[in-house]
Structure 1
Amino acid sequence: MPSATDELIQRLYSEPPDGFVAARTAAINEAKQAGDREAAKRLAALKKPTVAAWVVNLLALRRPELIEELVELSSALREAQRGLQGDQLRELTAQRRQVVSALVGAARRLAVEASGPGAKLPLGEVEATLTAALAEPEVAAQVRTGRLIRAATYAGFGEVPRPRLRLVTDDVASDEDESDDDESAEVVEFPQPSSRERAAAERRRREVEQRQRELRRELSAAQAAERRADEQLEKAEAAERDAEHLVEDLDAELAELERRRTEAQADVARRKQARRAAERETAVARRQVGDVQAALEDLESDEPD
């Protein structure tokens, strides 16, 4: 059973990302006020998702049965690829397109319901992410969590098997060993390419390999840049959290100082009232002293010499 923090995280990733930071900050503050430091730490580590990632998260969290269907189809596709079952692979590929299209439509409806009809939704990135989930179990596992922070892409579904270089007619036995023993089997050989064609094919192969190396270098550089950007983002988020915590601490100190100031002002008022009461008592006592002294002087003056 998911914990209260897990349910809160699920709600955060279900809401449109434009309100994610404010909702996360409010959740962190509530956790701190409740004394739950572990929950506050988990919440502070959450990253804001892109709009495309949010749409996929919405689908995973609210229609998990559709994601399970996607995962089952992914397993079937990989089995078909390993077995090089052409007919089944073509059928499953067509089914893949239908399933992904249906999932994108369902995700769009959920996103429009959550954010309104005027929202701009990057459905191409959503489709690319769901397609990647079909091809890569790791992406599928991330999609199932409902906590993606960015879209994913995938270039294709494995290597396409190379065509065989001969065609055996229908009266050749299906078993390859039997066709070797049967001299009457009709075998049609494809024409061999010329030296010019082979040279052109070799040039294209080298160009493709060169382009692949360039793209791999670009990919490595982009991934390194992404890692650096992620690190900078994490540092910026940590600095933001530290600044927020400092403001909270200063607010608490200010509140304490304001409380003490109010108490001090009340104490000054009480002491002022006490001083005024003492002044009144002093004045009364002085009058009494004056009256007694006057009476005493009158008495003394009346005595006979």
Structure 2
Amino acid sequence: MPSMTDELIQRLYEEPPDGFVAARTAAINEAKQTGDRDAAKRLAALKKPTVAAWVVNLLALRRPDLIEQLVDLSTALRDAQRGLDGDQLRELNAQRRQVVSALVGAARKLALEAEPGAKLPLGEVEATLTAAMAEPSIAAQVRTGRLIRSATYAGFGEVPRPRLRLVTDDTDLEDDAEVEVDDSAEVVEFPTQSSRERQAAERRRREFEQRRRELKRELSAAQAAERRADEQLERAEAAERDAGHLVDDLDAELAELERRRTEAQADVARRKQARRNAERETAAARRQVGDVQAALEDLESGEPD
């Protein structure tokens, strides 16, 4: 049964790539807030898919039945190739083209429903589905619904293994050594090696062994350097990924601060208008007070004795 994190990852890969980074950042922040470090780590390792990979992911996640049809047909094709059944192979190849075309159409429909008006690299989608039909390992990746880039395949079907046969040539034997035949005993004898030939052969053997030892040392050094380079690459990728996530986080914080700034500016404008209204009301009240005081003074000055 898929976990909540698996379901979240599936939703991320179903969304159009333009919104992937923001959605991933939000999911990471939510996981951190809930204290789910493992989920946050899994989410942080996710990579943004290309548009073509996203289209294939949609097909795999929403129409897995179509992907299964493709896998079944690819299995039948490989069986036909092994059996060298020409008629069946031609029929299955025709079905292959029809199935791939139908899957591309279904993927296009799903993508346009998710993002109307999107420009879709359908050629890359078709190449990926064709590669999935030819290579079981690519088909397994397609099934996950988590492709990050499209795939290609140079040819279709299995590469036949070369046939080996033992070749003998009596002429070569005669060129390498002179054969002496004793007609009476009917025995073939080969001349023994001379001392000089043995020394030359021993020298070549020593040179060969020395060169092999040197190459083994070079291979060990190269393999160690490769491991160090791989470790350095992993650290660099992790640092790049962390830096990218930091930028994403800062962008999100900046967007939030910009939103709050806009709200604060609007609040300042409202309060400024309220102050102006209060100033006008105060001025009017003061004028009214002055008018009433003046009227009262006039009245009191004319009071009868």
Query: What TM-score, normalized by structure 1, do the two folds share?
Result: 0.56
Alpha-carbon deviation of 1:238? 2.1
Code of the residue aligned with 2:110 in structure 1: it is L
Code of the residue aligned with 2:139 in structure 1: it is A
1:9 is matched with 9
Structure-2 change in CA distance of 1:233 and 1:81 (3 Å): same
Code of the residue aligned with 2:245 in structure 1: it is R
1:140 is matched with 139
8 Å Cα contact 2:25/2:249 also seen in 1: no
1:265 is matched with none
Alpha-carbon deviation of 1:138? 0.3
The question of 1:19 aligning with 2:23 is answered no
Structure-2 change in CA distance of 1:66 and 1:34 (3 Å): same
Alpha-carbon deviation of 1:239? 1.9
2:244 is matched with 240
2:149 is matched with 150
Q: Tell me, in whole angstroms, the C-alpha distance in 2 between the residues paired with 1:231 and 1:51.
A: 28
Alpha-carbon deviation of 1:158? 3.3
Code of the residue aligned with 1:52 in structure 2: it is A
Q: Tell me, in whole angstroms, the C-alpha distance in 1 between the residues paired with 2:65 and 2:82.
A: 26
8 Å Cα contact 2:13/2:54 also seen in 1: yes
Code of the residue aligned with 1:143 in structure 2: it is V
8 Å Cα contact 2:128/2:152 also seen in 1: yes
Correspondences of 1:57-96 after superposition (within 5 Å): 57-96=57-96
8 Å Cα contact 2:78/2:158 also seen in 1: no
Q: Tell me, in whole angstroms, the C-alpha distance in 1 between the residues paired with 2:38 and 2:53.
A: 26
Structure-2 change in CA distance of 1:156 and 1:20 (3 Å): same
Q: Tell me, in whole angstroms, the C-alpha distance in 2 between the residues paired with 1:143 and 1:11.
A: 16
1:104 is matched with 104
8 Å Cα contact 2:50/2:149 also seen in 1: yes
* Identity score, percent: 78
Correspondences of 1:149-188 after superposition (within 5 Å): 149-158=148-157
1:28 is matched with 28
Q: Tell me, in whole angstroms, the C-alpha distance in 2 between the residues paired with 1:84 and 1:19.
A: 48
1:284 is matched with none
Structure-2 change in CA distance of 1:113 and 1:230 (3 Å): farther
1:155-210: per-residue Cα shift (whole Å, max 9, x none)? 1113688xxxxxxxxxxxxxxxxxxxxxxxxxxxxxxxxxxxxxxxxxxxxxxxxx
1:125 is matched with 124
Q: Tell me, in whole angstroms, the C-alpha distance in 2 between the residues paired with 1:230 and 1:51.
A: 26
Alpha-carbon deviation of 1:29? 0.1
Q: Tell me, in whole angstroms, the C-alpha distance in 2 between the residues paired with 1:70 and 1:231.
A: 38
1:114 is matched with 114
Structure-2 change in CA distance of 1:71 and 1:248 (3 Å): closer
Q: Tell me, in whole angstroms, the C-alpha distance in 1 between the residues paired with 2:8 and 2:125.
A: 24
8 Å Cα contact 2:53/2:150 also seen in 1: yes
Alpha-carbon deviation of 1:244? 6.2
Code of the residue aligned with 1:238 in structure 2: it is D
Count of paired positions: 183
Alpha-carbon deviation of 1:235? 3.8
Alpha-carbon deviation of 1:84? 1.1
Q: Tell me, in whole angstroms, the C-alpha distance in 2 between the residues paired with 1:90 and 1:230.
A: 46
Q: Tell me, in whole angstroms, the C-alpha distance in 1 between the residues paired with 2:112 and 2:235.
A: 33
Q: Tell me, in whole angstroms, the C-alpha distance in 1 between the residues paired with 2:102 and 2:41.
A: 38
1:56-79: per-residue Cα shift (whole Å, max 9, x none)? 000000000000101100110111
**Structure 1 gap ranges (5+):** 162-226, 250-305
Alpha-carbon deviation of 1:240? 2.4
Structure-2 change in CA distance of 1:229 and 1:69 (3 Å): farther
Correspondences of 1:250-261 after superposition (within 5 Å): none
1:178 is matched with none
Structure-2 change in CA distance of 1:160 and 1:34 (3 Å): closer
Aligned-CA RMSD value: 2.6
